[in-house]
Amino acid sequence: MMGMGLAVSASTVAPAVRRSGRRSGCRASASASGTKTEAFSPRDFRRALNKSETYNRRGFGHEDAVKGIMEKDFTSSLIQEMRDDPSKSVTRGNVTVRLADSYGFCWGVERAIQIAFEARIQYPEDTIHITNEIIHNPGVNQNLSDMGVKFIPVDKETGAKDFGAVKPGDVVILPAFGASVQEMKLLSENGNKIVDTTCPWVSKVWNAVDKYDRNGHTSVLHGKYAHEESIATASFAGTYLIIKDMAEAEYVAEYILHGGDRDAFLRKFSNAVSEGFDPDVHLDKIGVSNQTTMLKGETEAIAKFLEGTMMKKFGVEHVAEHYMMQDTICDATQERQDAMYSLVDDSSLDLMLVVGGYNSSNTSHLQEIAEGKGLPSFWVDNEKRLVDVNVIEHLTFDHQLLTTEGWLKPGPLKVGITSGASTPDKSMDRVLEEIFRQKAIIDAQ
């Protein structure tokens, strides 16, 4: 596994990964020779890795140096002006902008960026790699690239990551979303220095699925099976099923209560179940958790619905034996969603702007809230999406890329604005400055 040729394929890290055995816990199994061998335990591996001298998840003490970089590249006097104003608003010409009460960089994201930037300072001469985007923001990832951090290449067709260029002794950063246990094990065995920026809220989900596993429950994860965070979480679960929405939860509940076509079930969730998953066996005991960036209300509704399903199946008096739930909803995600619900209730708003990376799950849900309210809302990842005067290219929450003309009306205009947890204030600043520029042209005509 060392040096050139080192690779992790989609079959080892994606949720479609088939992992041997019913459980990932440390238990004996019979080998071909008839002797007992201990199964690999992600939990035990994590504990051992935490004690390793080549593993760091706390940073390197270069906070002051990094603070200067982040203030220069990520902060905005315009956003600060709105933040300081009691009304959370600012007016430029005919445009009044109201800022959400909670928006932008969360603590976990700031922590991840700081540790990654510190790693470059700590290891000025070392080759540094990162297993994925540090966060879902193109500008921040470009910052790392400009610092000489190399992104592990991914085969677009197979999803396989090529670790061939990672030499023993190189530094490897794990992003805020985390990394699969297979990747961690590979890097540990390769003798790499691991800098782990995984958000503690993501680690909390890992602890939850580990607890479910040790109690003999299948982890039912509300998330997107191809998302990096769900990939990592699935690798720490024993038996798992990933569902994306209430419709899939209802499909699962129907199978739990009445059975069904096993092969059809497995085809439907072919990319979202653990190896050897059998819906006739592995849905008798379930534990619910979530990808931290999902809509809080949807996760809660799915959890309550599945709890009710297990009550119907096994009786209220036995539900505790068959159902578990730990609160793994990220505080920052919840705060931004709550702030968005509050902002879109402002009837004086003419339109809503959501700023954030197009592959950002938490940003997509902010856009979903605005669209659900019926408020004209435009999700952009940078100011270049304002492609011409009164012409905007934008994404819907279900990822349709649209171009809209005439979206800025003449005269007074009130705009609400928020941003995803991976979005620096500077990104919002640039979008707003472009709106102010275009609106001045429109009003002068």
The burial class, CB within 10 Å (0-12 / 13-18 / 19+), for 23 is middle
Residue 124 clears pLDDT 70, i.e. is over it: yes
| Calpha distance 150→430 (Å, rounded) | 27
Average pLDDT on 368-386 reads: 97
Average pLDDT on 245-266 reads: 98
Indicate whether 400 and 283 sit together in one domain. Answer: no
Indicate whether 281 and 314 sit together in one domain. Answer: yes
- Sheet with 401-405: strands ordered across: 89-92, 95-99, 413-419, 351-355, 377-380, 391-395, 401-405
| Calpha distance 84→90 (Å, rounded) | 10
Considering the domain boundaries, does residue 12 fall inside one?
A: no
Label residues 138-170 b or e (16+ Cβ within 10 Å = b).
bbbbebbeeeebbbbeeeeeebbbebeebbeeb
Listed residue (108, 147, 156) closest to 129, CA to CA: 147
Residues 10 and 271: beta-carbon distance below 8 Å: no
Q: What is the pLDDT of residue 89?
A: 98
Give me the residue label for tokens 């035990």.
Answer: 44
**145, 180, 198 - which closes a domain:** 198
Q: What CATH number does the domain containing 359 carry?
A: 3.40.1010.20
Indicate whether 219 and 237 sit together in one domain. Answer: yes
Indicate whether 206 and 176 sit together in one domain. Answer: no
How distant is the alpha carbon of residue 293 from its chain centre? 5
| Domain carrying residue 168 | 52-62+107-198
Q: Percentage of residues in the chain with pLDDT exceeding 70? A: 91
Indicate whether 285 and 385 sit together in one domain. Answer: no
Q: What is the pLDDT of residue 85?
A: 97
pTM: 0.88
| Calpha distance 215→383 (Å, rounded) | 49
Residue 281 clears pLDDT 80, i.e. is over it: yes
| Calpha distance 139→104 (Å, rounded) | 14
Indicate whether 289 and 419 sit together in one domain. Answer: no
Residues 259 and 206: beta-carbon distance below 8 Å: no
Indicate whether 240 and 350 sit together in one domain. Answer: no
Reported as a pLDDT band with limits 50, 70 and 90, residue 38 is low
User: Quick check: is 63 catalytic?
Assistant: no
How many structural domains are present in the chain? 3
> Of the ranges 4-13, 74-83, 284-293, which one carries the lowest mean pLDDT score?
4-13
Q: What is the pLDDT of residue 330?
A: 86
Query: For 345-375, how does the pLDDT look when each residue is reduced to its tens digit (9 = 90+)?
Result: 999 999 999 999 999 999 999 999 999 999 9
Q: What CATH number does the domain containing 117 carry?
A: 3.40.50.11270
Residues 442 and 388: beta-carbon distance below 8 Å: no
Mean of per-residue pLDDT scores for the chain: 91
Indicate whether 249 and 295 sit together in one domain. Answer: yes
Residue 125 Rama label (left phi>0; alpha psi -120 to 50; beta): alpha
Query: For 153-179, how does the pLDDT look when each residue is reduced to its tens digit (9 = 90+)?
Result: 999 888 889 999 999 999 999 999 999
Indicate whether 90 and 127 sit together in one domain. Answer: no
Residue 214 clears pLDDT 60, i.e. is over it: yes
Considering the domain boundaries, does residue 46 fall inside one?
A: no
**275, 310, 329 - which closes a domain:** 329
**183, 198, 213 - which closes a domain:** 198
Indicate whether 206 and 315 sit together in one domain. Answer: yes
Catalytic residue among 228, 229, 248, 368: 229
Q: What is the secondary structure of 102-153 as a DSSP string?
A: S-S--HHHHHHHHHHHHHHHH-SSS-EEESS-SSS-HHHHHHHHHTTPEEPP
Q: What is the pLDDT of residue 326?
A: 85
| Calpha distance 202→223 (Å, rounded) | 12
Radius of gyration of the chain (CA): 24
Residue 12 clears pLDDT 80, i.e. is over it: no
Residue 4 clears pLDDT 90, i.e. is over it: no
| Calpha distance 130→409 (Å, rounded) | 44
Residue 18 clears pLDDT 80, i.e. is over it: no
Q: What is the pLDDT of residue 296?
A: 87
Residue 3 clears pLDDT 50, i.e. is over it: no
Query: For 217-228, how does the pLDDT look when each residue is reduced to its tens digit (9 = 90+)?
Result: 999 999 999 999
Average pLDDT on 328-337 reads: 89
Reported as a pLDDT band with limits 50, 70 and 90, residue 33 is very low
Alpha-helical regions (H) of 75-106: 77-84
Reported as a pLDDT band with limits 50, 70 and 90, residue 381 is very high
Residue 132 clears pLDDT 70, i.e. is over it: yes
